[in-house]
Amino acid sequence: MTENSLPIQNYALLSDEECDSRIRAAKETLGDRCVILGHHYQRDEVFQYADLSGDSLKLSRDAAKTDAEFIVFCGVHFMAEGADILTSDNQQVILPDLAAGCSMADMADLAKVERCWRELSEVLDADSSITPVTYINSAADLKGFCGRHNGIVCTSSNARKILEWSFNQREKILFFPDQHLGRNTGYEMGIPLEEMVTWDFNKPMGGLTKEEILNAKMILWKGFCSVHQMFQPEQIDNFKAQYPETKVISHPESSFEVCQKSDQLGSTEMILKIVRESEKGSRWLVGTELNLVNRLAEEMKPKGVDVHFMSPTVCMCSTMFRTDPQHLAWVLENLVAGHVVNKIAVDSDTAVQAKVALDNMLVVV
């Protein structure tokens, strides 16, 4: 934050209506110098200002194609880091609220992953036996770890291709931070559940025996998404008892049991595509974040397609929800005044290593 930047305290008590006029005025003043990225899970009050929308990788790649000097990422911290890595040196990435993190990403930090690698190396030669794969929902330094160890990054839409590539490199995979995406993808590839073990990062040797490690094809980090763990198989059963014609589509961050009861699995982009292309009169039960599902339901209602949220209780991404119109107005008006606040900058060494893992992914897909 620069010395003369406008303080956030001046914005905290502004109403959303006041913020609206100020955000629109700032956007008009900044013009093409600034692009606002809106992740699908953002609340509507912020999503409405997005120049580009999508999932985290799509947004970063789209931002890199623009000539915008300022990239305002309405998402969470790891997304802004990814954008900083993939955009050019003359583009600056800004996260409206630095407290917007990701509980899943936080479950795997560099110290824990490096300790895991050391402990695995006591059982086998990790560098020649294991390909580290990190979900894109992870910090830049974990992407850098994968780059250093000839590993790769995956997304929920390309996970199968990435795992196939990884097994072609070495016989085993260490997959972090989300156990569910790893397990659901591995099972879909024909890997038995007993050959996919869970590494508990709070226990020595991940709570596994030497034999379990040696016999495993995939070592899954004990991480999860706090939103997608709210979905339960009985929610599907109860809904289909009332509406038996329902098609169920879930994000693969959901549990194995939920995914097994779903008709289709898909990333946020795939869920949108499949539901948007469905026939009039169809009904969908969707297992992913609430804001996305609500927007999709409103969009499809005039087309005669019913879209329902899987959980009977409200579950939205609380860290994503931190980004509000007040923080967005603050960062934009600071840009108008010539101040860059909440800049996200990945150090050059980490960025280079992380880009190796990201480039490996982009070559595969």
DSSP 3-67: TTPPPGGGTTT--HHHHHHHHHHHHHHHGGGEEEEEETTS-HHHHTT-SEEE-HHHHHHHHHTS-
Q: What share of the chain in percent tops pLDDT 90?
A: 93
pLDDT digits (tens, 9 = 90+) for 162-178: 999 999 999 999 999 99
**314 pLDDT above the threshold of 70:** no
Ordered strands of the 130-135 beta sheet: 152-154, 130-135, 172-176, 218-221, 196-199
Q: In this predicted structure, what is the pLDDT of residue 316?
A: 63
Q: What share of the chain in percent tops pLDDT 70?
A: 98
The whole-chain average pLDDT of the chain stands at: 95
Other C-beta atoms lying within 10 Å of the C-beta of residue 45: 16
Looking at residues 358-363, what average pLDDT do you find? 96
Q: In this predicted structure, what is the pLDDT of residue 256?
A: 98
CATH 3.40.50.720 corresponds to the domain 228-309: no
Q: In this predicted structure, what is the pLDDT of residue 320?
A: 74
Domain with CATH 3.40.50.10800 in the chain: 8-101+319-346, 228-309
User: What are the Cα distances from residue 138, in Å, to 102, 306, 354?
Assistant: 8, 34, 11
Structure tokens, 341: 């606040």
Looking at residues 295-312, what average pLDDT do you find? 96
**107 pLDDT above the threshold of 80:** yes
Q: Which CATH superfamily is 8-101+319-346 part of?
A: NadA-like (3.40.50.10800)
CATH architecture of 105-226: 3-Layer(aba) Sandwich (3.40)
pLDDT digits (tens, 9 = 90+) for 267-303: 999 999 999 999 999 999 999 999 999 999 999 999 9
pLDDT band at 315 (very low <50, low <70, confident <90, very high): low
Distance of CA 78 to the CA centre of its chain: 8
Q: In this predicted structure, what is the pLDDT of residue 3?
A: 64
